[in-house]
A and B are shown apart, each in its own frame.
Chain A
């Protein structure tokens, strides 16, 4: 919801309740990230293990191939790098990338 104006106490459901399903995409967890997954395209076999394991559905896939990482939602947990059989994903500190 970061692009919207934050709502006042009269406008939101009571008790922190979320009265609808499937809206976690609106919560951009990318801001939590310290380490960013960087895919080495030459080593990647497109097995999509990373896509299966990613808890935030942040691995973007097109035509059965990795297209990129959704950095608005990737928390930098490193599960993809851990699970990658080809060791094609490296976790690089954000500070060194920018």
Chain B
């Protein structure tokens, strides 16, 4: 078993980075992720890592420098939040398009305007089509564990994709929690040596990264990216198994909770899973057959696996800590409901947009969701497809 420690999500993540000991980090500070690189900068200054830390003038430059360093053959990491991620936008696609396995901690935060520095998933969800693998973490332990596994997954030969690991801003990033850390040696062994498939610094094999790609081949390269996401699925499961052997903590695409005999269910991701699990237990004591799915991997989206896990439910609530204005519900809802479409008798699915800009999601809110689901189960009727939970009328 690992060493039990008490630290904030950010410090846990910085320690994971210390243990990973990347070749290059290029970063620009933004709340609430600032503390990650601040702590990591101390590790660099204290000689705890061999990393070249590049302090750049913007997040666009941070990701650009990461791309250059990754193309040069380095193991590369960074961290950001919200508007910082938004400023990286152009470069996110260049990182994934060039198939560079950069690892980025995204401390999820609301996007301006109006300005708000607190936790929601608008930043990460906005980048869902950028070709990055995406994880969401429930707590500091998962953020630490996900980051270590992200390294192994991204660098795998048939994957070669960048990976974002999300954790909720402030709720996780700034709260001190108990967690277990692996020993430095175990982490080193788990992540292995990084062998880039091609490197700009390998003068024995000169290569060109990022050349012009027109009507004749661009489609084929995009098709390859799609395939890499498919190939990532077994790699994610394998990394989860290997990590379980090392840590005792199991990871898959999602975590089902009291779902097998459930009639109604709630699907959520991030820190709200803890509160939801508590409510599920309370409701179970009252004899209500409710279960939960905590989604961990959003890209690649586990369509078939969710179909198998959710198919027997009568009613399902999908929780989105992000709105997709003018869409058919929040981003998680759109994908989950689309996944259920092919089932012979899909559960009636409803969407709850909640917790924007760090608004608390409390026990009574989830109790209301369970109440609504009970009604849907009994009547088979959906009154409100999309409900704005935690919003004043």
Contact = CB atoms under 8 A, between A and B. Distances in A.
Contacts of A13: 198
A14 interface: yes
B213 A16 contact: yes
A7 interface: yes
A9 B220 contact: yes
24 contacts: A7-B217, A9-B219, A9-B223, A9-B224, A9-B227, A12-B220, A12-B221, A13-B198, A14-B160, A14-B197, A14-B224, A14-B228, A15-B97, A15-B224, A16-B97, A16-B213, A16-B218, A17-B99, A17-B207, A17-B208, A17-B209, A18-B207, A18-B208, A21-B207
A70 to B, nearest CB: 20
B206 interface: yes
A23 to B, nearest CB: 9
Given A9-B227, A19-B198, A14 B221 contact: yes
A97 interface: no
B185 interface: no
Contacts of A15: 97-100, 160, 209, 221, 224
A6 B216 contact: yes
Contacts of A16: 97-98, 210-211, 213, 217-218, 221
Contacts of A6: 216-217
A14 B209 CA distance: 10
Interface size class of B (residues with CB under 8 A): 20 to 34
- A interface secondary structure, majority: loop
Given A6-B217, A14-B228, A15-B100, 6 more contacts: A9-B219, A13-B198, A14-B99, A14-B221, A16-B210, A17-B99
Interface string B184-217: 0000000000000110000001111111010011
Interface of B: 97-100, 160, 197-198, 205-211, 213, 216-221, 223-224, 227-228
Interface of A: 6-9, 12-21
Contact of A9 (B99, B205, B208, B221): B221
Contacts of B223: 9
A76 to B, nearest CB: 17
A19 B205 CA distance: 7
Contacts of A19: 198, 205, 207
Contacts of A21: 206-207
Nearest to A7: B220
Contacts of A8: 220
A80 B95 CA distance: 38
A13 B224 CA distance: 9
Contacts of B221: 9, 12, 14-16
A20 B99 CA distance: 18
Q: Pick from A9, A12, A15, A17 the residue with the most CB of B within 10 Å.
A: A15
Contacts of A7: 217, 220
A73 to B, nearest CB: 15
A66 B197 CA distance: 43
A42 to B, nearest CB: 39
Contacts of B213: 16
A17 B210 CA distance: 7
A30 to B, nearest CB: 15
